[in-house]
Amino acid sequence: MYLILDLYSRKVVGWEVYAEESSEHAAETIRKTVFRERKGGIAPKVVLHSDNGAAMKGATMLGTLQMLRIRPSFGRPSVSNDNAYSESLFKTLKYRPDDPVEKPFDTLEEGRKWVSSFTGWYNEEHRHSAIKFVTPSQRHRGEDREILTRRDRTYHEAQKKNPERWSGKTRDWTPIEKVTLNPQKEVVSKDQNFNEEKSKKMRQIV
């Protein structure tokens, strides 16, 4: 299964199921996705992050990305959980009640039918906790702001009517703005910590 997830909206924007893995299949999947999503083009500075598999690094795939003006990005070697967004999606997939892990598909078409059903549910019905419980498709279409504004108003009205039910503020329905794949954490060295402590003590002495 080839699956393309939009990082911002969490929507599955493209998928394909083939009998084998290849760079050609990966290229065809991204090509179909781009032309369906952008109707023949795609905005500049788009990045496709994937694992280090041969299919994703093959000449056909890389050539297709170059043609579509998409910059390739690859996970760190020997790091299985480099993409938390993808890991989250596949966990949701594997814990579905109808997950076929115990009973493999008899045909390729059965597999495609199941993935089509899953992505339809995930995009259109699943209220994603990481995007304030709107569906990925709602966020992808830009409808999440209005939905969250209405929720915020409803919560505040409920609090005014029944203040005794609320021990603090209402739930935060502020839309998620910036999304980053692997946020860079600020690293403070031991020497920097030592120098800061030394400077602090000197200020106290003075």
Do residues 98 and 70 touch, judged by C-beta distance below 8 A? no
| pTM to 2 decimal places | 0.80
pLDDT tens string, the chain, 206 residues long: the values are 999 999 999 999 999 999 999 999 999 999 999 988 876 445 557 899 998 888 899 999 999 999 988 999 888 776 666 788 988 998 999 888 887 767 788 999 999 999 999 999 999 999 999 999 999 999 999 999 999 999 999 999 999 999 999 889 999 999 999 888 876 554 444 455 545 554 444 444 43
Domain 2-82+105-114 of CATH type 3.30.420.10: yes
Supply the pLDDT for residue 192: 52
CA nearest 3: which of 86, 73, 63?
A: 86
Question: HSE on the CB side for 132, CA within 13 Å?
Answer: 20
Q: Is 21 left (phi over 0), alpha (psi -120 to 50) or beta?
A: beta
Distance CA 57, CA 81 (A): 19
Dihedral angle, C-alpha 15, 135, 9, 89, nearest 10 °? -50
Dihedral of alpha carbons 194, 197, 199, 205, sign: negative
Supply the pLDDT for residue 28: 95
Do residues 50 and 74 touch, judged by C-beta distance below 8 A? yes
- Two structure tokens written together for 39: 């109707």
Domain ranges in the chain with CATH number 3.30.420.10: 2-82+105-114
